[in-house]
A and B are shown apart, each in its own frame.
Chain A
Amino acid sequence: MVNKLFEQELQVINVGLSSFADSIQQTGGKALHLDWRPPAAGNRETGMKLALLVNDPKVEAANRTAFERFLAAQPILIGVASARNAIPNLGERTLLHAGPPIEWERMCGPMQGAVIGAILYEGWAADHDAARKLAGGGEVTFAPCHHFGAVGPMAGVISPSMPVWIVKNQDRGNLAFSNLNEGLGKVLRFGANDASVLDRLKWMEAVLGPAMDAALKVLGGVELRPIIAQALHIGDECHNRNAAASSLLFKKLTPALLKTDLPSDDMARVLEFIAGNDHFFLNISMACCKAMLDAGHGVEGSTLVTAMARNGVEFGIRMSGTGDAWFTAPAPTVAGLFFPGFSQADAAPDLGDSAITETAGIGGFAMGAAPAIVQFVGGTPQDAIAYTREMFHITMGVNGGFTLPPLNFDASPAGIDARKVVDTSIAPVINTGIAHKDAGVGQVGAGITRAPLECFEQAIMSLREAA
C-alpha cells in the first residue's frame, strides 16, 4: 500500500492549519481542508474511544444488521384498543410519559398537568388536590412510553383506559403504540386537565377509539409507509406538518367507517373531529417510526440511534447497541416563532416523544420536503433543503421509500449514527411544537431545535463492542 501511494495521485485531507492545504494546492496537489473542531467538546477520552470505533469492522457489521432491520420494517396500522388491553405488561396504576425516566417532583408544568388530568380521567382521585397527592405519594407508577413500545407527543401521558393506535411491523412482528391526537388548544398533552379536556378523552375512549378500530378492521389494516411517502410529496415532513398525511388517512378511513354500524351522529362527530385536526396523523406517524426503529434496536455493538425523546427537563437518546440505557442531557430550549401574545419566556424546554420521527429520518430530517415549516423560524425553502442535506452527514444511509421532490427526489437521510454525530459535532435537527411552561395553556409556538451532543458522546462511551 505504501508503494501504491507512490503510484497514485496524492489527495490530501487536511486537518488543522489551513495554510497547509493552500500550499498543496499551489504546488499542483489536491487538498481538502476540513472545518475541523475537537470532537466531544475536546474530551480526549471520548475522542479516542470514538476514533477506535470509526470504520471498525465489528461496528460496521452490527450497524448493517441494525440498519437493514430498520429499513426492512413494514409498519401496518392494525387497530385501536385501550392501552390496558393493547400494551403488554402495562400495570394497572401506571402512567406512561414522554422522554427518558423522570419522577413526579422533577416533571415540567405541562407534564404534571397531564398526569393530574390522567388521574382524574381514570377516576383514581376525585379532585386536583387528591390527584396531586396521589401522584406525589408513590401510588402511581411512572414510566417512559418508550419502555412499553409506545410514544406520545408533548407530555405523552398514556393511562390504561386511553385508546391507543396499534402498529405492527409486518417484517419482524414487533408492535408499537401511540395515543390518539386530541387536536389543538386545551388538550391533555399540553397539560390542560379541565372538564372539557376530560370529556373529550372520555368520548375518544367510548366512540372515536372503537370507531377507528372498526374502520381498520374493515380495511384489514393500513400500510403506513406509502402514506408517509405520499405525504412527503405533498409538503409534509410528518412531524410538525401532517396536513397531507391526515387528509390521506381521512380518505382511507371514511369509506371504511361508512361500512361500520356506527350511529350517524357519532359518525358525524368522528368525521368532523378527524377533518378538523391537521395533526391527526402525527401520533400514527410516530408509532410507525417507533415500529421501524425498534426493529433495529438491540443489535450488539451497533451505534444506530433508536430513540430521541424529551420529557421537558431532559433530552434522552437510546442506541441500538446499548440496550435499555438512556443517555441524557438538559432539554434544550427551542428557537422558534411564537403565537401572538407569547414569547420565549413562556416556553417550556423541548418536550415529547415526537422526535422519534427525526430518529427515523422524517420530521426535521425531511424538512427539505416541507418548505412551509421553515417559516416557523423565519427561514427560506433553501434553508429547509440545507437542513436535510446536513443530516446526510450523520446518517448511515438513505430510506429509498421516502423521497424528497425539492432534492431532486433524492431519498431521505436515515439511520442516525452516533459516531458521526460526535465526530462532526453536527447535532440532529428537530422540528417541534413549543409548549407553554405552565400546565394547560397549550402550544405557544413552533420551531427548530437540535439534539444535545452530550447524549451521543455518552452513548459512544457506553458502547461495548460485540464479541
Chain B
Amino acid sequence: MTTSQRMIKNLYRDSVSLMQFSEKLRALEGIKQASAVMATENNISLLVEAGLLAGAVPPSPNDLLIVVEGRDEASTGAALDSAEAMLKAKSAEAGEGGVRRVPPRSIQMGLESMPSANFVLISTPGEYAAAEARKALQLGLHVMMFSDNVSMEEEIPLKRYARDHDLLVMGPDCGTAIINGIPLGFANVVRRGDIGVVAASGTGLQQVTSLIHRFGAGITQAIGTGGHDLKSEVGGITMLQGIEALAKDKSTKVILLVSKPPSPDVMKNVLDKAAQSKKPVVVEFIGADPKTITGGNIYGVKTLEGAAVAAVLLSKGRAVKKFSSALPAKYKSLVKPAQKKLKKGQKYIRGLFSGGTFCYETVLLLSEALGKVYSNTPIKKDEKIPNVWKSLEHTVIDLGDDLFTQGRPHPMIDFRLRNERILQEAKDPETAVILLDVVLGYGSNMDPAGELIPAIQGAQKIAAKAKRNLVFVGSVCGTDSDPQNLSRQEAMLREAGVLLTDSNAQAARLAAAIVS
C-alpha cells in the first residue's frame, strides 16, 4: 500500500460535493482510500489522524488537497491524475459564442446575473458564514444561514442589523425553511395553505409541516430561526420578526411556534407578540408544561404532533380538543402482538435518531412513561450516557450530534453509522425495541427505507440466531410530494416489519407501551 497526495491551487468545492467526489475516487482501480478536501487546518489534521497524510502540511483554505491510498504508486498516481482532470473539466465550461465566462463568485456578482434576487442561502463553512450574511443584508437581501459553528457574538449584530432594516436572518444553524412554497435546505414539499410556522428547530419544523400536510392542510410560510434565537442574548429577534410578519400576512390564518422552552424574558416577549397578532397562535415549547403557555388567542400544546393537530383544527375553524397523552386506538392493537414476540430478558428501548428534535422529544416522552432514559442529549444531567458507543438500559441516541458527524455526512444522508449501530443493538439480549426516525425531503437520502432495510433484516437474523425477535418501531417524516415519496417509503418499511406511526411522538408512545 502506498499513499500519494496532490494540492490543486485555487480550486474551491463545497464539502458535500467533495465527499461525493471522494467516493468516486475510492471506486477507481487499485484505490483503497481517497479523500478530497479543502486544505484547511481542521481537514489536514483529520487526514493526519486518519493516517492518510504522513505529516501536517501548511493550511491553504483556497486550495484543494487530494490524498489517495492504493496498491502501488502507479495506481495512486493514475488516480490523482484522473481526479485532477475530473475537477478541472467542470470549470472549463464554455459560454456564449465560445467565450469563457467566469461563473458568479460573490453575492454582488450574483446580483449582476440575477438582479431581482431577494434571498441568499448560505451553507459555507461556519467561519465564513457571518461575513457572507453581512454582505447579503447590506445588499438588501434576506438571509438563511444553514451554516453552523457561527458564534452568538457574530449572530447578534447580524440579527440586529436585519431587524433594523426589516430583513430576515434565518439561522445560523437553520436547517430548514419553506418560503413562498419553496423548500430551503433540508425541507419537505408541503402543500400551501393558511398556517404560518416559526420554528427554532429544524426537524421540529419538518415534523409539524409534514404532519399539517398529512392532515390535509397546508402552510403559508415556515420560517426557521436557528437554535440560538430564543436565548436571552439574542432575544428571539427572528421569532419576533416572524410572528409580526405572519400576523400582517393576509394569507396566514393560524400561527404555529416551535422551540425548546426559551429563557423567561424571551418567552414573555414571544407570547406578548403572539397575543398582539390577534390570530390563533399554537405554541409548542418542547418540554414545557402547556399550562404555562396561556393567553386569549394562544394554545399551548404538548408534542409536535399535538401542535400540528391543533393548528389544522384552528385552520378549519374547529375547536381545539383537550390534549390526550393516551396511545390512539389504531396503535393500541399493535402492542400485544409485538409484546408476544419478545423474550423475557428483552426489556429496553434503543432509539437511534437522525433528527435532533426527534431524539429530544422521544427522551421527554419515554422519561414520562418509563423513568430513566439515557441519552447523549439527556434532560437530566445524571442520565447522560457514559459511553455514547454503548447503550445502557433505555437509551436514545442523537446520531446527528457533532461527535458523530466530524468528517462524515449527516446521518440523514449517510446511513452507515446508524446501520452499524442497529446491528450492534441486535446483539444485545436486553434490546426489545429499536426505535427509529426516518426523515424525507430535499437534502436527505434519496431512499432511506432502502438504506435501512438490509440492516433491519441483518438485525433480525442476528436475533434469530439467539432465538430472539426484535421489534422495530418508527415514523417517517415527510410528504407524498417529497422526492422520496412518503407512501412508498412507508410501504417498504412496513413490508420489512417496522411498526409505523404517523408521528414521532406516537412512535415513542407505542414503543413505551410495548416495553411496559
Contacts and interface: CB of A to CB of B under 8 A. Distances in A.
B121 A12 contact: yes
A1 interface: yes
Contacts of B132: 15, 36, 51
Nearest to A45: B131
B248 interface: yes
A6 to B, nearest CB: 6
A273 interface: no
Contact of A424 (B106, B120, B147): B106
A5 B131 contact: no
Contacts of A5: 118-119, 142, 168, 179-180
B249 A6 contact: yes
A52 interface: yes
B110 A2 contact: no
A19 B413 CA distance: 12
Contacts of A11: 114, 116-119
A35 B104 contact: yes
Q: How large is the interface on B (under 10, 10 to 19, 20 to 34, 35 or more residues)?
A: 35 or more
A225 interface: no
Contacts of B130: 48, 51
B122 A15 contact: yes
Contact of A32 (B110, B220, B221): B110
Given A13-B110, A19-B16, A34-B110, A6 B220 contact: yes
Given A6-B245, A55-B138, A17 B106 contact: no
A205 interface: no
A42 interface: yes
Interface stretch (B183-191, B333-341, B420-428, B456-464): B183-191
A42 B166 contact: no
Interface stretch (B94-102, B305-313, B370-378): B94-102
Contacts of A32: 104, 110, 113-114, 117
Q: How large is the interface on A (under 10, 10 to 19, 20 to 34, 35 or more residues)?
A: 35 or more
A106 interface: no
A10 B180 CA distance: 7
B442 A27 contact: yes
Contact of A23 (B116, B141, B183): B183
Max chain A CB contacts within 10 Å: which of B17, B119, B251? B119
Contacts of A386: 99-101
A35 B62 CA distance: 12
Contacts of A26: 442, 483
A28 B125 CA distance: 27
A264 interface: no
A424 B135 CA distance: 13
A14 B138 CA distance: 16
Contacts of A424: 105-106, 109
Contacts of B297: none
A27 B182 contact: yes
A424 B119 CA distance: 19
Contact of B112 (A9, A36, A393): A393
Given A54-B138, A389-B99, A16 B14 contact: yes
A423 B442 contact: no
A349 B120 CA distance: 41
B408 to A, nearest CB: 15
Contacts of B14: 16-18
A18 B104 CA distance: 13
Contacts of B166: 1-2
A19 B167 CA distance: 25
Contacts of B179: 5-6, 10
Contacts of B165: 1
Contacts of B245: 2-3, 6
Nearest to B196: A6
A30 interface: yes
B108 interface: yes
A383 B183 CA distance: 39
Given A36-B12, A36-B124, A9 B184 contact: no
A23 B443 contact: yes
Contacts of A20: 121, 123, 146, 184-185, 442-443
B56 interface: no
A275 interface: no
Interface string A366-403: 00000000000000001101100110010000000000
A8 B118 contact: yes
Given A23-B183, A52-B134, A10 B118 contact: yes
A44 interface: yes
B118 A42 contact: no
Nearest to B178: A27
A384 to B, nearest CB: 9
B194 to A, nearest CB: 13
Interface of A: 1-3, 5-6, 8-21, 23-24, 26-32, 34-39, 41-42, 44, 47-48, 50-52, 54-56, 382-383, 385-386, 389-390, 393, 420, 423-426
Q: When A and B form their complex, which 6 residue pairs have the shortest distance between CB atoms, in order from nearest?
A: A16-B123, A42-B61, A37-B12, A23-B442, A29-B182, A51-B131
16 contacts: A6-B180, A8-B118, A15-B132, A23-B183, A27-B442, A34-B105, A38-B12, A38-B61, A38-B125, A38-B128, A39-B106, A42-B127, A42-B128, A382-B98, A386-B99, A425-B62
